[in-house]
Structure 1
Amino acid sequence: MAYWLFKTEPDAFSIDDLNSRPDQTEPWDGVRNYQARNFLRDKVAIGDQVFIYHSSCKIVGIAGVAEVVKAGYPDETQFNPESNYYDPKSTRENPRWFRVDVKFVEKFESVLPLSVIKAMPNITEIGLVKKGGRLSIMPVEETEWQQLYTTAKMN
Protein backbone atom coordinates (compact mmCIF):
# COMPACT_ATOMS: atom_id res chain seq x y z
CA MET A 1 0.00 0.00 0.00
CA ALA A 2 1.17 3.50 -0.82
CA TYR A 3 0.09 6.90 0.46
CA TRP A 4 -0.91 9.95 -1.56
CA LEU A 5 -2.21 13.48 -1.29
CA PHE A 6 -4.82 14.61 -3.86
CA LYS A 7 -5.50 18.33 -4.07
CA THR A 8 -8.92 19.73 -4.86
CA GLU A 9 -10.69 23.04 -4.65
CA PRO A 10 -13.62 22.46 -2.30
CA ASP A 11 -15.94 24.77 -4.23
CA ALA A 12 -15.50 22.36 -7.19
CA PHE A 13 -15.27 19.07 -5.23
CA SER A 14 -14.71 18.54 -1.51
CA ILE A 15 -14.44 15.78 1.07
CA ASP A 16 -18.12 16.48 1.82
CA ASP A 17 -19.01 15.93 -1.84
CA LEU A 18 -17.23 12.58 -1.76
CA ASN A 19 -19.02 11.63 1.46
CA SER A 20 -22.40 12.58 -0.03
CA ARG A 21 -22.15 10.31 -3.09
CA PRO A 22 -24.59 7.37 -2.92
CA ASP A 23 -21.76 4.83 -2.74
CA GLN A 24 -19.21 7.40 -1.50
CA THR A 25 -17.10 6.68 -4.59
CA GLU A 26 -16.00 9.11 -7.28
CA PRO A 27 -13.65 9.14 -10.28
CA TRP A 28 -10.73 11.49 -9.60
CA ASP A 29 -10.63 13.15 -13.00
CA GLY A 30 -9.51 16.39 -14.60
CA VAL A 31 -5.82 16.04 -13.72
CA ARG A 32 -3.86 17.80 -16.47
CA ASN A 33 -0.27 17.72 -15.31
CA TYR A 34 1.98 15.07 -16.86
CA GLN A 35 3.84 14.12 -13.68
CA ALA A 36 0.57 13.82 -11.73
CA ARG A 37 -0.91 11.87 -14.67
CA ASN A 38 2.02 9.45 -14.53
CA PHE A 39 1.33 8.81 -10.86
CA LEU A 40 -2.34 8.09 -11.61
CA ARG A 41 -1.51 5.89 -14.60
CA ASP A 42 1.51 3.99 -13.25
CA LYS A 43 1.74 4.19 -9.45
CA VAL A 44 -1.57 4.77 -7.67
CA ALA A 45 -3.09 1.35 -6.89
CA ILE A 46 -6.19 -0.20 -5.34
CA GLY A 47 -5.99 0.01 -1.55
CA ASP A 48 -3.71 3.05 -1.50
CA GLN A 49 -4.67 5.67 1.08
CA VAL A 50 -5.25 9.28 0.01
CA PHE A 51 -5.32 12.53 1.93
CA ILE A 52 -7.96 14.83 0.44
CA TYR A 53 -6.38 18.29 0.50
CA HIS A 54 -8.47 21.43 0.07
CA SER A 55 -6.70 24.26 -1.76
CA SER A 56 -7.69 27.73 -2.98
CA CYS A 57 -10.05 28.24 -0.06
CA LYS A 58 -10.26 29.95 3.33
CA ILE A 59 -8.58 27.11 5.27
CA VAL A 60 -6.08 25.30 3.04
CA GLY A 61 -5.10 21.85 4.29
CA ILE A 62 -5.88 18.17 4.73
CA ALA A 63 -9.63 17.61 5.15
CA GLY A 64 -9.90 13.83 5.28
CA VAL A 65 -9.01 10.43 3.85
CA ALA A 66 -10.11 8.39 0.85
CA GLU A 67 -9.05 5.00 -0.47
CA VAL A 68 -8.31 4.08 -4.07
CA VAL A 69 -10.85 1.52 -5.27
CA LYS A 70 -10.02 1.47 -8.98
CA ALA A 71 -6.54 1.83 -10.46
CA GLY A 72 -5.64 4.14 -13.34
CA TYR A 73 -7.82 4.12 -16.44
CA PRO A 74 -8.47 6.69 -19.20
CA ASP A 75 -10.17 9.88 -18.04
CA GLU A 76 -13.35 10.11 -20.12
CA THR A 77 -13.49 13.91 -19.84
CA GLN A 78 -10.59 14.19 -22.31
CA PHE A 79 -12.83 12.83 -25.10
CA ASN A 80 -15.82 15.11 -24.46
CA PRO A 81 -15.67 18.38 -26.48
CA GLU A 82 -18.08 19.99 -23.99
CA SER A 83 -15.88 19.22 -20.97
CA ASN A 84 -13.50 21.75 -19.44
CA TYR A 85 -10.96 18.91 -19.55
CA TYR A 86 -11.35 18.08 -23.25
CA ASP A 87 -8.09 17.35 -25.07
CA PRO A 88 -8.41 17.26 -28.87
CA LYS A 89 -5.00 15.57 -29.18
CA SER A 90 -6.05 12.61 -27.06
CA THR A 91 -7.59 9.52 -28.65
CA ARG A 92 -9.16 6.38 -27.25
CA GLU A 93 -6.30 4.40 -28.82
CA ASN A 94 -3.72 6.68 -27.22
CA PRO A 95 -5.25 8.47 -24.23
CA ARG A 96 -3.18 11.21 -22.62
CA TRP A 97 -5.01 11.52 -19.30
CA PHE A 98 -5.91 9.03 -16.60
CA ARG A 99 -7.99 8.90 -13.47
CA VAL A 100 -8.59 6.59 -10.52
CA ASP A 101 -11.69 6.00 -8.42
CA VAL A 102 -11.61 6.91 -4.75
CA LYS A 103 -13.95 6.05 -1.90
CA PHE A 104 -14.62 8.12 1.20
CA VAL A 105 -12.95 6.87 4.39
CA GLU A 106 -13.23 9.73 6.86
CA LYS A 107 -13.51 13.46 7.28
CA PHE A 108 -11.43 15.09 10.01
CA GLU A 109 -13.22 17.22 12.61
CA SER A 110 -11.26 20.18 11.30
CA VAL A 111 -8.90 20.75 8.40
CA LEU A 112 -5.22 20.25 9.22
CA PRO A 113 -3.94 23.63 7.97
CA LEU A 114 -0.95 23.97 5.68
CA SER A 115 0.59 26.36 8.22
CA VAL A 116 0.59 23.59 10.83
CA ILE A 117 1.95 21.06 8.32
CA LYS A 118 4.82 23.40 7.41
CA ALA A 119 5.63 23.89 11.10
CA MET A 120 5.96 20.16 11.78
CA PRO A 121 9.73 19.51 12.08
CA ASN A 122 9.62 15.92 10.78
CA ILE A 123 7.56 16.75 7.69
CA THR A 124 10.21 17.45 5.08
CA GLU A 125 9.58 15.19 2.09
CA ILE A 126 6.00 15.88 1.04
CA GLY A 127 5.68 18.29 -1.87
CA LEU A 128 3.58 20.68 0.21
CA VAL A 129 6.65 21.83 2.11
CA LYS A 130 9.03 21.89 -0.85
CA LYS A 131 9.37 24.86 -3.14
CA GLY A 132 7.85 24.07 -6.53
CA GLY A 133 6.67 20.64 -5.37
CA ARG A 134 2.93 21.22 -5.12
CA LEU A 135 1.42 18.85 -7.65
CA SER A 136 -2.27 18.00 -7.62
CA ILE A 137 -1.26 14.36 -6.97
CA MET A 138 1.77 13.72 -4.78
CA PRO A 139 3.23 10.77 -2.93
CA VAL A 140 3.44 10.80 0.86
CA GLU A 141 6.08 8.81 2.74
CA GLU A 142 4.59 6.34 5.22
CA THR A 143 6.25 7.98 8.24
CA GLU A 144 4.96 11.39 7.18
CA TRP A 145 1.49 9.94 6.53
CA GLN A 146 1.38 8.56 10.08
CA GLN A 147 2.50 11.87 11.60
CA LEU A 148 0.06 13.93 9.51
CA TYR A 149 -2.81 11.54 10.17
CA THR A 150 -2.17 11.53 13.93
CA THR A 151 -1.93 15.33 14.01
CA ALA A 152 -5.11 15.71 11.95
CA LYS A 153 -7.01 13.41 14.32
CA MET A 154 -5.87 15.48 17.33
CA ASN A 155 -6.40 18.84 15.58
Structure 2
Amino acid sequence: MAYWLFKSEPDAWSWDQQVAKGDEGEEWGGVRNYQARNNMRAMKVGDRGFFYHSNIGKEIVGIVEVCRESQPDSTADDPRWDCVMIRAVQPVPNPVKLEDVKSAPELADMVLVRNSRMSVQPVRDEEWEIVCRMAGL
Protein backbone atom coordinates (compact mmCIF):
# COMPACT_ATOMS: atom_id res chain seq x y z
CA MET A 1 0.00 0.00 0.00
CA ALA A 2 1.19 3.50 -0.82
CA TYR A 3 0.31 6.71 1.00
CA TRP A 4 -0.65 10.11 -0.39
CA LEU A 5 -1.88 13.56 0.57
CA PHE A 6 -4.81 15.26 -1.15
CA LYS A 7 -5.15 19.01 -0.76
CA SER A 8 -8.41 20.89 -1.06
CA GLU A 9 -9.56 24.36 -0.16
CA PRO A 10 -12.42 23.70 2.26
CA ASP A 11 -14.59 26.41 0.72
CA ALA A 12 -14.29 24.56 -2.63
CA TRP A 13 -14.42 20.92 -1.37
CA SER A 14 -14.39 20.16 2.35
CA TRP A 15 -13.91 17.08 4.47
CA ASP A 16 -17.63 17.17 5.32
CA GLN A 17 -18.50 17.11 1.62
CA GLN A 18 -16.11 14.20 1.09
CA VAL A 19 -17.71 12.29 3.98
CA ALA A 20 -21.18 12.97 2.55
CA LYS A 21 -20.21 11.10 -0.64
CA GLY A 22 -20.12 7.87 1.38
CA ASP A 23 -18.60 4.64 0.09
CA GLU A 24 -19.12 5.71 -3.52
CA GLY A 25 -16.53 8.43 -3.05
CA GLU A 26 -15.78 11.38 -5.27
CA GLU A 27 -13.68 11.91 -8.36
CA TRP A 28 -10.58 13.93 -7.43
CA GLY A 29 -10.86 16.01 -10.59
CA GLY A 30 -9.67 19.41 -11.64
CA VAL A 31 -5.96 18.76 -11.08
CA ARG A 32 -3.95 20.50 -13.80
CA ASN A 33 -0.38 19.76 -12.76
CA TYR A 34 1.57 17.00 -14.48
CA GLN A 35 3.39 15.81 -11.37
CA ALA A 36 0.13 15.62 -9.37
CA ARG A 37 -1.53 13.80 -12.29
CA ASN A 38 1.36 11.34 -12.47
CA ASN A 39 1.01 10.74 -8.73
CA MET A 40 -2.64 9.80 -9.30
CA ARG A 41 -1.67 7.52 -12.19
CA ALA A 42 0.60 5.63 -9.74
CA MET A 43 -2.21 5.03 -7.21
CA LYS A 44 -3.85 1.67 -6.63
CA VAL A 45 -7.23 0.83 -5.11
CA GLY A 46 -6.78 0.61 -1.35
CA ASP A 47 -3.99 3.18 -1.12
CA ARG A 48 -4.59 5.61 1.75
CA GLY A 49 -4.20 9.35 1.90
CA PHE A 50 -4.43 12.32 4.17
CA PHE A 51 -7.20 14.82 3.40
CA TYR A 52 -5.67 18.26 3.88
CA HIS A 53 -7.54 21.56 4.10
CA SER A 54 -5.40 24.17 2.35
CA ASN A 55 -5.73 27.96 2.57
CA ILE A 56 -8.32 27.84 5.36
CA GLY A 57 -7.12 25.79 8.30
CA LYS A 58 -3.97 24.38 6.68
CA GLU A 59 -4.38 21.07 8.44
CA ILE A 60 -4.81 17.34 7.90
CA VAL A 61 -8.39 16.56 8.89
CA GLY A 62 -9.08 13.03 7.68
CA ILE A 63 -8.02 9.78 6.07
CA VAL A 64 -9.22 8.80 2.59
CA GLU A 65 -8.85 5.69 0.45
CA VAL A 66 -8.45 5.32 -3.30
CA CYS A 67 -11.56 3.48 -4.51
CA ARG A 68 -11.01 3.79 -8.29
CA GLU A 69 -7.71 3.98 -10.13
CA SER A 70 -6.79 6.74 -12.54
CA GLN A 71 -9.18 7.39 -15.42
CA PRO A 72 -9.86 10.40 -17.64
CA ASP A 73 -10.94 13.45 -15.61
CA SER A 74 -14.60 14.19 -16.36
CA THR A 75 -13.99 17.90 -15.66
CA ALA A 76 -11.44 18.19 -18.51
CA ASP A 77 -11.89 18.46 -22.26
CA ASP A 78 -8.23 17.56 -22.68
CA PRO A 79 -7.38 13.82 -22.59
CA ARG A 80 -4.06 14.51 -20.84
CA TRP A 81 -5.78 14.91 -17.46
CA ASP A 82 -6.65 11.93 -15.28
CA CYS A 83 -7.93 11.51 -11.76
CA VAL A 84 -8.71 8.89 -9.14
CA MET A 85 -11.82 8.42 -7.03
CA ILE A 86 -11.43 8.64 -3.25
CA ARG A 87 -13.72 7.94 -0.31
CA ALA A 88 -13.55 9.11 3.29
CA VAL A 89 -12.34 6.50 5.78
CA GLN A 90 -12.26 8.44 9.05
CA PRO A 91 -11.64 11.87 10.50
CA VAL A 92 -8.49 12.36 12.53
CA PRO A 93 -9.10 12.89 16.27
CA ASN A 94 -6.58 15.76 16.36
CA PRO A 95 -6.19 17.72 13.11
CA VAL A 96 -2.51 18.18 12.28
CA LYS A 97 -1.63 21.76 11.36
CA LEU A 98 0.96 22.60 8.72
CA GLU A 99 2.99 24.51 11.32
CA ASP A 100 3.20 21.32 13.43
CA VAL A 101 4.37 19.28 10.44
CA LYS A 102 6.99 21.93 9.65
CA SER A 103 8.22 22.00 13.24
CA ALA A 104 8.80 18.22 13.37
CA PRO A 105 12.46 17.60 12.38
CA GLU A 106 11.66 14.06 11.23
CA LEU A 107 9.21 15.49 8.66
CA ALA A 108 11.64 18.05 7.17
CA ASP A 109 11.79 16.17 3.85
CA MET A 110 8.02 15.64 3.53
CA VAL A 111 6.66 17.00 0.23
CA LEU A 112 4.11 19.05 2.20
CA VAL A 113 7.06 20.92 3.75
CA ARG A 114 9.25 21.15 0.64
CA ASN A 115 6.57 21.75 -2.03
CA SER A 116 3.44 22.89 -0.26
CA ARG A 117 1.74 23.90 -3.52
CA MET A 118 1.55 20.33 -4.87
CA SER A 119 -2.13 19.31 -4.72
CA VAL A 120 -1.61 15.53 -4.79
CA GLN A 121 1.61 14.31 -3.26
CA PRO A 122 3.27 11.12 -2.04
CA VAL A 123 3.81 10.44 1.66
CA ARG A 124 6.56 8.05 2.74
CA ASP A 125 5.67 5.18 5.10
CA GLU A 126 7.59 6.68 8.03
CA GLU A 127 5.96 10.10 7.45
CA TRP A 128 2.53 8.44 7.44
CA GLU A 129 3.23 6.80 10.80
CA ILE A 130 4.53 10.01 12.38
CA VAL A 131 1.60 12.14 11.18
CA CYS A 132 -0.90 9.46 12.26
CA ARG A 133 0.60 9.54 15.76
CA MET A 134 0.41 13.35 15.77
CA ALA A 135 -3.25 13.03 14.74
CA GLY A 136 -4.06 10.66 17.60
CA LEU A 137 -4.43 7.54 15.46
Same fold (TM over 0.5): yes
Partner residue in 1 for 2:37? 37
Q: In the TM superposition, what whole-angstrom CA distance separates every residue of 1:57-93 from its partner, at most 9, and x where no partner exists? A: 1x211111000010000001112xxxxxxxxxx2xxx
Q: In the TM superposition, what whole-angstrom CA distance separates every residue of 1:5-31 from its partner, at most 9, and x where no partner exists? A: 010001111111111124351111100
Partner residue in 2 for 1:52? 51
Q: 1-side partners of 2:43 and 2:73: how far apart?
A: 14
Q: 1-side partners of 2:76 and 2:59: how far apart?
A: 28
Q: TM-score, normalised by structure 1?
A: 0.83
Show the 5 A alignment for 1:1-155. 1-23=1-23, 25-41=25-41, 43-57=42-56, 59-79=57-77, 90=78, 95-130=79-114, 132=115, 134-153=117-136
Give, as a single letter, the amino acid of the residue that structure 2 aligns with 1:107: P
Q: TM-score, normalised by structure 2?
A: 0.93
What SS does the corresponding residue of 1:66 show, helix, strand or coil?
strand
What SS does the corresponding residue of 1:30 show, helix, strand or coil?
coil
Q: Specify whether residues 133 and 21 from structure 1 end up closer, same or farther in structure 2 by C-alpha distance, changes over 3 A only.
A: closer
Larger Rg: 1
Unaligned ranges ≥5, structure 1: 80-89
Q: CA RMSD in A?
A: 1.4
- The number of equivalent residue pairs is 137
Q: 2-side partners of 1:55 and 1:137: how far apart?
A: 12
| Pairwise CA distance, 1:121 | 1.6
